[in-house]
Amino acid sequence: MQTLFLFGYLVVFRAVFYFFFFSSTIKDAGIVARAWHLGLRFDMRLALILMIPVGLLAVIAKDRLFGTGLLRRINFGYLFLIYLLLSIFYVLDLGHYSYLGLRLDPSVTRFLAYGEKATNARMLWESYPVVWGLLGMVLVMVLLRYGYRRIFRRYAQKEGTPVRPWGYAAYVVTLVILFGAGIYGNLAYFPLRWSQAMFTRDNAVTSLALNPVLYFVSNFTVQNDTFDDRETHKYFPLVAQYLGVEKPVPNQLNFVRTVPGDSSKPRQNVIIVMMESGGAAMTSMFNNPMKATPNLQQLADNGVLFENFYVPAMSTARSVFAITTGLPDVVRSKTASRHPGIVDQRVVMDQFAGYEKYYLLGGNTNWANIRAVFTNNVEGIEIFEEGYFKSPKADVWGVSDFDLITESDEIFKKAHDKKQPFIAFLQTADNHEPYTTTAGAGDFKKLTAKDVDMKLFKTSGFVNLDQFNALRYLDYNIGHLMKLAKASGYLDNTIFVFFGDHSAKLDPFHFMPIPEYEMSTYVDHVPCIIYNPRLLQPQRVSHAGSLLDIYPTVAKLTGIPFKNYTLGMDLLDTTRSAERYAFIQYSKNLNWCMGMINGQYLYEIDTKTNATGLYDLKADALKDVKQQNPQLTGDLDKLTRGFYESTRYLMFNNKK
């Protein structure tokens, strides 16, 4: 009876997930029912595993279980502990899924990193109803305690029935068989395994089919981040050819490309703006029906818009590391920025001789150890962060984006007035939970359900109106920056780069040319705009681009001489555009995948199972066509693995 009570509690959380968090393009009732069936089997497995100690206690104590005060207290204490831990875990899992669209896994420990716990705690406090949640958990625990104690007392009050030894032995054997069968979970040779839940390509269906606790435990392995010298040498000739390394020597892993200076180009400032949680599918430039980004649309119409631009992985810390170092963050358990052995890199930003170098963030740069990525690699960089700005903090992420941009303009204008070129990395944050918006200059207004076409809104992918308004606020502040740049005089001699660091979690959408949501690649597809009418004519670039390419591109535009030690290339180099790909990583069926993508093909490798697939994005983008294209499959397999191995090598061997 206690086992059924516990199983019922797990099913309640599954129902909460289904009715309040489950969102999928798959509407087939049979598929959803199959996910439920598998999920209930996983729930029963967990309930039986957790009840093993109680079962052993009952078998050993026999009728003394109900008559001994100590045994009763042990029983009650154990049940209280497991219900408490389960409640905490499931609440965290639902919050994690609400935020990232993924079940909780061991990488969540990154939020407990030294110096970051307080920041992340404040984010939770400001984003979620913590007090009500705690009160609700207390109420739930009171009800649970009442329930399992009543079950115990109900059986304790019954008169005992004499049982002969053979009868008791049969009872124990039956109990063991039932527990074993339930934990095994399959009418097959192999026991129930997590891979059975991954019978579709859909993360939501897979998440519904899994039990989050068992999934977390199955992934609780820690692998040391390192590199494989032999594998790096194996793929080096191919990667060197792809990057355009001059005279590569096979036995010397030298990825350096020397780019001479061009004195004919005007010495431009550079402002790189990271747009928090700004995915391509969310913006006006990519036909989102809500048209939330008119200012970015105007910049794209008058600048260079890269249509097939990708970040290497979904994570702000990973994106900041990738753009700065020119290397994808392929660290699994945490992030590269949190790894002391990786943050020392030779980067292009450091080579802007004669430039003042700025990193501007409304919050604190101890976040994710990002401070070290800049101060350890860019000599003389000035960091403007929490404590510098006169404006008050808006939320856990520091001053509002409006105030950050307003006060950053003062820094840019000061450099401009003294004719000092500068390069700046400006990191926005308000398009992130808790989705704080301000009135800006007094003319920004949040829209409500009465102000928008909610039928159209449901097709846009936005999870809620807060997310939609936060993106509108981000776009508003981009417009604010451009107005200030014009008023302060540095608009015409500055190269502006705007890019999204990753997409926010979205509901299903279908307005993009390819089914990005079903492919799971929408998290990496972001807008990138380079704006400088003095140097660049308006155009839309269709060849693939990556976050790794931004600094080599702006360095080439400014005409400075530099050495490129990274895996990035010039985005505006059209001589090899047909063969350009972007290296990406994403979660499909809760498995981590890596691959190469451009406007025509996606090649994919499941890093857990090593399964591969080639998808023609201009045909049926969900159909694996590797059997029909063996040559291309082989080439992209080598390039993908080569990029991965080269990245791992350079992370530890690209020190200054």
- What is the spatial distance between Cα 512 and Cα 161, in angstroms, rounded to a whole number? 69
Phi and psi at residue 381, to the nearest 5°: -70, 140
For the segment 124-148, the average pLDDT, to the nearest whole number, is 89
Q: Are 461 and 385 in contact (CB under 8 A)?
A: no
Q: How far apart are the first and last CA of the chain?
A: 65
Mean pLDDT is lowest, of 136-150, 314-328, 389-403, 561-575, for: 136-150
Return the HEC string of 336-374.
HHHCCCCCCCCCCHHHCCCCEEEEEECCCCCHHHHHHHH
pLDDT-derived band at 36 (thresholds 50, 70, 90) equals very high
Q: What pLDDT is stored for residue 247 in this prediction?
A: 85
Which carries the bigger pLDDT value, residue 526 or residue 367? 526
Residues 6+ apart with CB under 8 A from 620: none
For the segment 285-307, the average pLDDT, to the nearest whole number, is 98
Is residue 223 over pLDDT 60? no
Q: Are 392 and 327 in contact (CB under 8 A)?
A: no
Mean pLDDT is lowest, of 383-397, 489-503, 576-590, for: 576-590
- The one-letter amino acid code at 276 reads E
Phi and psi at residue 389, to the nearest 5°: -75, 140
**At 403, is the secondary structure helix, strand, or coil?**
helix
Beta strands per DSSP E along 351-488 = 356-361, 382-384, 393-395, 398-399, 422-427
Residues 6+ apart with CB under 8 A from 412: 269, 271, 422, 424, 485, 488, 490, 494
Q: What pLDDT is stored for residue 4 in this prediction?
A: 92
Residue 98's Cβ-side half-sphere holds a number of Cα atoms within 13 Å equal to: 19
Phi and psi at residue 426, to the nearest 5°: -110, 115
- What is the spatial distance between Cα 456 and Cα 45, in angstroms, rounded to a whole number? 42
Is residue 189 over pLDDT 70? no
- What is the spatial distance between Cα 586 and Cα 519, in angstroms, rounded to a whole number? 10
Q: Are 526 and 500 in contact (CB under 8 A)?
A: yes
For the segment 417-444, the average pLDDT, to the nearest whole number, is 97
Which carries the bigger pLDDT value, residue 465 or residue 171? 465
- What is the spatial distance between Cα 299 and Cα 322, in angstroms, rounded to a whole number? 24
Max Cα-Cα span within the chain:
101
Phi and psi at residue 242, to the nearest 5°: -65, -40
- What is the spatial distance between Cα 409 and Cα 488, in angstroms, rounded to a whole number? 8
DSSP 8-state class, residue 132: H
What is the token pair recorded at 273? 């703006």
Place of tokens 């590797």: 626
The dihedral of CA 47, 48, 51, 53: what is its sign?
negative
For the segment 395-413, the average pLDDT, to the nearest whole number, is 97
Report the helix count and the strand count for the chain, using DSSP H and E.
19, 18
Q: Which residues pair with 604 in a beta bridge?
A: 595, 613
Is residue 428 over pLDDT 90? yes
CA dihedral 480, 486, 487, 488 (to 10 degrees): 100
For the segment 476-497, the average pLDDT, to the nearest whole number, is 98
- For the beta carbon of residue 120, count every other beta carbon within 10 angstroms: 15
For the segment 592-616, the average pLDDT, to the nearest whole number, is 96
Residue 613's Cβ-side half-sphere holds a number of Cα atoms within 13 Å equal to: 19
Q: For residue 289, is the peptide bond before it cis, meaning its omega torsion is within 30 degrees of 0? A: no
Q: What pLDDT is stored for residue 222 in this prediction?
A: 45
Residues 6+ apart with CB under 8 A from 328: 312, 313, 318, 322, 548, 567, 583, 585, 643, 647
pLDDT digits (tens, 9 = 90+) for 333-365: 778 988 878 888 999 999 999 999 999 999 988
